[in-house]
Amino acid sequence: MVRAFHATRVFDGTRWHEDAALVVEEGRVARIARDVPGAERVAGWILPGLVDLQVNGGGGVLFNNDPSAQGLACIRAAHARLGTTGMMVTLITDTPEVVARAVEAAASSDVMGLHLEGPHFAMARKGTHDGALIRPMEEVDLRALEAAAGRVRLLCTLAPEVVGVEAIRRLVAAGAVVSLGHSDATDAEALAAAAAGARMVTHLFNAMSPLSHRAPGLVGAALDDERFCAGIIADGFHVEDAVLRIALRAAPERIFLVSDAMSTVGTDLPGFTLNGREILRQGGRLTLADGTLAGADIALIDAVRHVVGLGVGLEEAWGMGSSLPAAAMEDASRGGLREGQRADFVAVDEGLGLCGVWIGGVAV
């Protein structure tokens, strides 16, 4: 089936096409052309769908609390309505049994893959993760992750000083993407992990050894070493705007946006529970009772709007939410609207208000 969608402007991920139509065939982009007869008129500008590598929940569902295909479908639908057309569903630190259920759910669902954020972390950098569930990586854990990587696209966030470089090499060899986070690693330990195949850093600045003038830490390694790309939460709370601007100047092609969204996204819920602990929703923040940030209360398009508000150009900001995260997962089918890529796209007005969302050329 061939369909065409005409807009005043179409951004293919690299350049704009004025007064053009996006032609879709069998859920893929066939071409962008002008004067396509019968093209459907779309309000606003057409841009690639957003790609989020850190989605914990949405639509009232937290994946840790409901690691099932049904729970995942609810989360995916909530974010699709908000412009996120590709996502790595994220399970934070939990028991081996919950991890196994999460692998099953992700393997049977239409998501990009599974992001396991924990449990092999530095206790000093656990953040909101339950310290009772954080543990060293044993051989049984490593073998389970290697098996999971054979079933689903797997992203593993771990502390390199906790798991060691040999475990990282094995995970990479099994096909997993290794990201460093919740870590007290020195820059030397981070660079050793990069040499073993780690190539990503999770929610830059948060829950990791900071940058100082004599101890670059994980932050310094991420900003300085071109082997790393890094996700960042641009909600105005997790990272101060001045620091965000500094990071973007330091590594403009290697920093992408993540939402770190929790179950509240797309709902008016006052809060939720995580591992038996109450998470409060107030003033745009999600926190434990002691004020510790507990994920974010945004969708990815909110992060794009935030960085645009800081003066970042629309094309660069949109790439931070689409092409860069897709490239970080080596997924060439997403993040743009060039021939052969998935016809996942959104329409926005000049204020970045959503006018419509399509996945595979089908309206959400």
Token representation of residue 275 = 């591992």
Residue 328 and residue 97: Cα distance in Å, rounded? 28
Helices (H) and strands (E) in the chain, counts: 11, 21
Angle at 254 between CA 252 and CA 259, to 5 degrees: 100
Q: Which two tokens stand for residue 227?
A: 């082997």
Q: Which two tokens stand for residue 47?
A: 């841009």
In this structure, are residues 204 and 231 in contact, taking their beta carbons and an 8 Å threshold? yes
Residues in the chain: 364
130 is catalytic: no
* Structure-block tokens of residue 282: 């107030």
Between CA 80 and CA 83 the distance in angstroms is 5
Q: Could you give the 3-state DSSP secondary structure of residue 57?
A: strand
Using alpha carbons only, give the angle 276, 279, 281 rounded to the nearest 5 degrees.
160
Secondary structure percentages of the chain, helix, strand, coil, to 5: 30, 30, 45
Which ranges of the chain would DSSP assign to H, the alpha helix? 69-80, 96-107, 139-149, 160-163, 165-174, 187-195, 217-224, 241-250, 300-309, 314-320, 323-328
Given the residues 260, 302, 331, 344, select the one marked as catalytic: 260
Closest by alpha carbon to 328, among 179, 138, 122?
Answer: 179
* Active centre residues (catalytic): 260
